[in-house]
Amino acid sequence: MRQKELLSISFNEASRTVFLYTKRKVTGKDLKSLPVSIMQCGIAYPQGTVEEIGKGLPIAHGAASFMINVRGSNLYACGSSISPGNSATAGTLGALVVDRQGTMHGLSNNHVTGLCNHSPVGIPILAPGVLDVCAGGIIPFTIGFHKAVLEMNVGTQGNIDVTRNSDAAIFQIMNPQSVTSSQGGVFDTPTSVLDPQDDMRVEKVGRTTGHTHGKIMGRELIPMGISYSAPNFGFSGTILFEDVWIIHGDTVPFAQPGDSGSLITHTDGNGDRHAVGLLFAGGTDSLGPEGQRTFFLPIRPILEKLGVNLLGGHNV
């Protein structure tokens, strides 16, 4: 396993399977000398790495922005492209949220609107994101102003408290009447929150791949290192995150670069929709569709740390 370079370990409690992700492929010959179970749990040996965030610009695979006509007005929807106005990037507006004073904000990743802790407070957030501005497209406008991020600290366990690391940010909405809580016109943002569970069916609307469905495959058992870079600010580093969960898309990848910040939701047996997580990274996976997997962080602690609640029913 040292030769294969073990990168991460995840566990699916529902199927009682441990997944040991390696950088180099574990062959059939290797499997003859490797254990197939431990403590009544099966062991799988997929090949899979984690993509570096910010290394290359995302490319749109479909509609980058959703304008929803509500009572004769075209409103900017969640699941659409956004970026800081001073950065040629693009990520996803995950949801609308309100703080304790009732002020409306947009929710996304720190690395999307916070530029890995480098966005000045008050910097305009553009819709669509700078990367998606094009002739004949939506005329870009200032959707809001950067407000706050959750901590993303470079360092190893013992030197920093990795439990404080998250990848989320909020920006204050400039004109609440220019936006809708609709997720790309597919469904409204739920206000209820559920904690993720193995094998839970989920879906999202994102800037790059739009509306996709998938299943939660398990949770990382050890802190996962995600490499980030913000070239314009001379920043690069690896951030360790706890409580990272994995999703496989049904027949295609659940997400691609540019979908970062998307809100992940689940519909229960009664037909009620709940928010589950915030999409923030991806990587390769020999067991996933087209060799891909998606990572997310549970939404409940993100909302609690930011002091906000999800907003639904707004201009829908």
* Mean pLDDT split into 10-residue runs, the chain, 316 residues: 91 96 94 92 96 75 75 93 94 97 98 96 96 89 98 91 96 98 97 98 96 97 93 90 97 95 98 98 96 98 98 97
The one-letter amino acid at 229: S
- For the chain, first and last CA: distance in Å? 52
Domain 67-186 and domain 190-306, same fold? Reply is: yes
The predicted structure's pLDDT at residue 61: 52
Secondary structure of 117-168 in HEC code, one letter for each residue: CCCCCCCEEEECCHHHCCCCCCCCEEEEEEEEECCCCECCECCECHHHCCCC
Return the CATH fold of 67-186: Thrombin, subunit H (2.40.10)
The predicted structure's pLDDT at residue 166: 97
The predicted structure's pLDDT at residue 194: 98
**Cis peptide preceding 298, ω within 30 of 0:** no
Which of helix, strand or coil describes residue 45? Answer: coil
What are the extents of the domains in the chain?
A: 6-44, 67-186, 190-306
State the virtual CA torsion across 312, 268, 303, 190 in degrees, nearest 10: -10
CATH architecture of 190-306: Beta Barrel (2.40)
**pTM for the full predicted model:** 0.95
The predicted structure's pLDDT at residue 233: 86
The predicted structure's pLDDT at residue 66: 85
Q: Which tokens hold the place of 157?
A: 């366990």
